């Protein structure tokens, strides 16, 4: 063995960079429009052959040029050569020594892409893989870097890279089920194209949902056939094929249990490739580990007959401490070989704690929810309720910076991830996770530029990357004060004008849809807040006007149509884009129009007109107040409504779940990592009446519980009352001292009231905090929560 072969990897990397620098000094560009694609043909493994086909087809898709495949260089034409065996010469070509050495040092899945200007009569490119999968990822990298335009294939700058993945598992769940907002509209060809595009950024695993859910109105192929075809696609591309299979029935039901085992056995026989079975311990399912683990042991025996290399994985989602303990006790006693590891997803024990308790022999997989925005694992921090009521839980949601932070925070504890996704709306997030699973040091904006280059437009890639970042910033802070929403729309419109052909691209259609939708909601929020203020001003004059007249005039103000021409144009654009997205990618933005599986499943078009003020609640209150026996009672009731958020001089109001109306809330946020780790509380939004609740908006958004509320500049000589609304219990402390209520309504919208002890006001400031009510085992929808806080000066 020579001294050179013992050189550390970093020394080789430095040498490679010096070579690349020297090449850059002399290199300008290379026209590859007449190049040939040199591959090993039938001698190559299937995945390597797939890589060559992918490169040829994707270049043709973008340029109209079909590169001829050849076993050797042709007549002095430039070449692109692919191989996973750099030590074996390609006919007529010799792999350059530096490239061969660099490829030889790569780890699993690694690739080396470099220029070759000296090994043949014409220059060319080498894509060398440490294994066949590495060739596939190298081809994806090359597609991201070539300048591909109609009739032209150009390499605009030097290229020299040797790279291997950091984390071994980098996948995404693409479940073929009715609940998805787009996957259920796909046939196997559409699936293959999307899986291929995920591999451009290093994704190496796909997870299907083979059994869950009823058949829906889409599903172009029978479930069993699609389950098999997805396995076949993964086999061709060399990607891992996983399945997500819960037991949403009682495992003590022996006939049902036996039927489930038979269903799985049939699936195992159908699939040519299967690598992992993910069994969620909960969400759905409520079985105890004493039933789960023997069931999985039987399942593992069936799996081993067909796919001996595959393993079962389990999540502890929804497990209480006793069940978590029972699971680890089983591992200690049985040490099952069939168990690949533990999956950490929504409602799982914390990832660091799980890694600490889990024996080193078992791996840990992250199962991050990249698909939802509210009522989820990673909600948008302090999301304006106007968005929560309209865009809802599953909108088009590029969150590149949040995705990068979430990946890099937890990845070191794990061997990788397969994300939870229910549609293409989270396409950007998938790309960020895939790229960072390969290289966690990559910058989010640079990943987005590559995303734009390969999928949208190479010349406008930096601007498109900035537009995607702007869409994430649209969701920061109070919407009414976020002028960046309009700036984002203008940037998107300018890009569209510069490249009209983007209008047919489904990824760009999603960008336009979101930018237009955000601007529409901001316009409506500002307008409808103004209308409510005008209506409240009329209600305050009920004693002068009479209650009936005041309610009539206030109702007429609230019902005024929006005559803004620009707003109407944006609305028409949104509806047209919804139709285009249904045709281009099967995205279902409406239940009645596009048969979305439910209002909460991406049906954002159905909530475009959802009231952003309290119009519905006020209309119902007007009916109630009209039945009161006296005009004095009606006037008092209307005055209370009109002054709800404006309690008068020296008094204060906070809607605790609304970032725009909670000036006294201590938010407690530090950096994004603290938010992702759930070390600071965030507001949430209830889901009542399929999103069409007529309750007061401040009762729909909530917290349980805020860090606190701070008040300063109070009058030490005055008396103050604290009033709360929420649900259930509220254990209030003032400056650390527990206080008892004078009034204690526990229902939605009912008041709790607490007197502020005079001695606590001596310094003119108070801090409100809350003890969390003990509610073990209580569903989150029934847990105590806080909606509003008043500090009323008497």
Poorest-confidence range of 323-332, 535-544, 673-682? 673-682
Band the pLDDT of 24: cuts 50, 70, 90. very low
Residue of 237, 265, 224, 30 lying closest to 126 (CA atoms): 30
Band the pLDDT of 1: cuts 50, 70, 90. very low
pLDDT tens, position by position, 29-51: 899 999 999 998 888 999 999 99
d(CA 174, CA 206): 7
| pLDDT for 18 | 47
pLDDT, mean of residues 420-424 = 98
Residue of 431, 378, 383, 379 lying closest to 409 (CA atoms): 378
d(CA 410, CA 426): 20
| pLDDT for 676 | 78
pLDDT, mean of residues 694-700 = 98
DSSP letter at 341? E
| pLDDT for 121 | 65
Judge whether residue 372 has pLDDT over 50. Answer: yes
Query: Does residue 651 contact residue 790 with C-beta atoms inside 8 Å?
Result: yes
Band the pLDDT of 527: cuts 50, 70, 90. very high
| pLDDT for 92 | 67
| pLDDT for 4 | 34
pLDDT, mean of residues 57-69 = 96
Query: Does residue 748 contact residue 727 with C-beta atoms inside 8 Å?
Result: yes
d(CA 248, CA 284): 6
464 CB-near residues (< 8 Å, 6+ apart): 448, 449, 452, 456, 457, 495, 511
At residue 136, the 3 state secondary structure works out as helix
Share of the chain above pLDDT 70, in %: 95
Judge whether residue 14 has pLDDT over 50. Answer: no
| pLDDT for 507 | 98
pLDDT, mean of residues 163-170 = 97
Poorest-confidence range of 50-54, 83-87, 401-405, 552-556? 83-87
Query: Does residue 714 contact residue 720 with C-beta atoms inside 8 Å?
Result: yes
Number of residues that make up the chain = 794
d(CA 297, CA 267): 17
Indicate the burial class of 741 (C-beta count within 10 angstroms; 0-12, 13-18, 19 or more). Answer: middle
Judge whether residue 8 has pLDDT over 80. Answer: no
Band the pLDDT of 89: cuts 50, 70, 90. low
| pLDDT for 669 | 63
| pLDDT for 518 | 98
Judge whether residue 13 has pLDDT over 90. Answer: no
pLDDT, mean of residues 679-708 = 94
Helix extents (H) in 27-91: 46-63
Judge whether residue 353 has pLDDT over 60. Answer: yes
Please give the backbone phi and psi of residue 637, each rounded to the nearest 5 degrees, phi first: -65, -40
Query: Does residue 676 contact residue 407 with C-beta atoms inside 8 Å?
Result: no
| pLDDT for 72 | 79
| pLDDT for 102 | 81
| pLDDT for 116 | 86
What pTM value is reported for the model? 0.94
Strand segments, DSSP code E, in 628-708 are: 652-655, 684-685, 701-702
pLDDT, mean of residues 53-75 = 92
């Amino acid at each position: 063995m020579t001294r050179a072969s013992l050189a550390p990897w970093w020394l080789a990397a430095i040498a490679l960079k010096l070579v690349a620098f020297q090449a850059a000094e002399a290199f300008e560009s290379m026209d590859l429009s007449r190049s040939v694609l040199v591959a090993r043909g039938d001698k190559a493994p299937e995945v390597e052959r797939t890589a060559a086909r992918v490169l040829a087809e994707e270049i043709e898709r973008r340029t109209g040029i079909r590169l001829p495949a050849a076993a050797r260089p042709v007549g002095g034409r430039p070449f692109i050569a692919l191989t996973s065996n750099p030590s074996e010469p390609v006919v007529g070509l010799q792999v350059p020594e530096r490239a061969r050495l660099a490829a030889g040092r790569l780890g699993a899945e690694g690739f080396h892409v470099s220029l070759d200007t000296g090994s043949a009569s014409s220059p060319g490119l080498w894509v060398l893989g440490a294994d066949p999968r590495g060739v596939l990822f190298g081809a994806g990298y090359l597609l991201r870097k070539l300048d591909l335009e109609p009739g032209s294939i150009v390499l605009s700058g030097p290229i020299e890279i040797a790279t291997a993945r950091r984390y071994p598992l980098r996948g995404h769940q693409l479940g073929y089920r009715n609940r998805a907002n787009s996957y259920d509209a796909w046939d196997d060809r559409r699936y293959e194209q999307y899986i291929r595009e995920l591999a451009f950024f290093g994704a190496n695993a796909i997870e299907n949902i083979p059994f869950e859910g009823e058949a829906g109105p889409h599903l172009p192929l029978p479930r069993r056939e699609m389950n098999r075809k997805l396995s076949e696609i993964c086999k061709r591309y060399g990607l891992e094929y996983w399945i997500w299979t819960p037991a949403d029935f009682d495992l003590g039901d022996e006939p049902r249990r036996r039927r489930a085992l038979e269903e799985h056995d049939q699936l195992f026989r159908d699939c040519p490739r299967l690598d992992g079975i993910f069994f969620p311990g909960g969400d759905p399912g409520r079985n105890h580990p004493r039933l789960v683990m023997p069931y999985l042991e039987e399942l593992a025996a069936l799996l081993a007959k067909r796919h001996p290399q595959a393993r079962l994985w389990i999540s502890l989602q929804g497990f209480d401490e006793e069940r978590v303990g029972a699971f680890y006790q089983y591992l200690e006693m049985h040490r099952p070989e069939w168990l690949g590891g533990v999956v950490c997803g929504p409602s799982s024990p914390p990832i660091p704690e799980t890694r600490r308790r889990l024996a080193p022999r078992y791996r840990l997989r992250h199962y991050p929810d990249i698909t939802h925005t509210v009522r989820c694992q990673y909600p948008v921090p302090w999301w304006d309720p106007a968005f929560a009521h309209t865009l809802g839980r599953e909108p088009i949601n590029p969150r590149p910076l949040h995705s990068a932070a979430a990946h890099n925070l937890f990845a070191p504890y794990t061997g990788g991830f397969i994300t939870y996704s229910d549609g293409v709306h989270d396409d950007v997030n998938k790309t960020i996770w895939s790229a960072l699973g390969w290289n966690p040091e990559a910058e989010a904006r640079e990943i987005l530029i590559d995303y734009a280059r390969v999928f949208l437009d190479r010349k406008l890639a930096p601007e498109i990357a900035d537009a995607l970042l702007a869409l994430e910033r649209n969701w920061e802070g109070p919407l009414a004060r976020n002028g960046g929403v309009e700036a984002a729309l203008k940037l998107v419109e300018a890009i569209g004008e510069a490249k009209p052909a983007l209008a047919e691209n489904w990824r760009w259609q999603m960008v336009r849809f979101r930018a237009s939708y955000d601007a529409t909601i901001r316009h409506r929020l500002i307008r409808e807040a103004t209308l409510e203020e005008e209506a409240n001003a009329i209600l305050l004059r009920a004693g002068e006007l009479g209650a009936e007249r005041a309610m009539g005039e206030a109702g007429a103000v609230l019902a005024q149509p929006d005559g803004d021409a620009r707003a109407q144009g944006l609305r028409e654009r949104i509806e047209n884009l919804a139709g285009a997205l249904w045709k281009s990618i099967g995205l279902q933005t409406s239940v009645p129009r596009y048969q979305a599986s439910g209002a909460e499943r991406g049906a954002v078009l159905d909530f475009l007109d959802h009231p952003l003020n309290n119009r519905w609640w006020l209309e119902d209150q007007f009916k109630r107040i009209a039945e009161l026996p006296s005009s004095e009672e009606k006037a008092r009731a209307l005055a209370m409504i009109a002054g709800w958020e404006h309690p008068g001089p020296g008094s204060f109001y906070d809607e605790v779940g609304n970032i725009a109306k909670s000036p006294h809330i201590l938010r407690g946020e530090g950096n994004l990592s603290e938010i992702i780790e759930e070390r600071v509380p965030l507001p949430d939004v209830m889901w009542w009446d399929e999103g069409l609740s007529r309750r007061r908006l401040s009762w729909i958004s909530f917290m349980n519980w805020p860090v606190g509320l701070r008040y300063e500049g109070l009058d030490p000589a005055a008396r103050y009352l604290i009033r709360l609304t929420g649900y259930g219990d509220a254990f209030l402390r003032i400056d650390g001292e527990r206080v008892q209520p004078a009034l204690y309504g526990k229902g939605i919208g009912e008041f709790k009231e607490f007197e502020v002890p005079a001695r606590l006001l001596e310094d003119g400031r108070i801090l409100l905090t809350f003890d969390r009510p003990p509610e073990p085992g209580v569903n989150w929808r029934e847990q105590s929560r806080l909606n509003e806080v008043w500090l009323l000066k008497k």
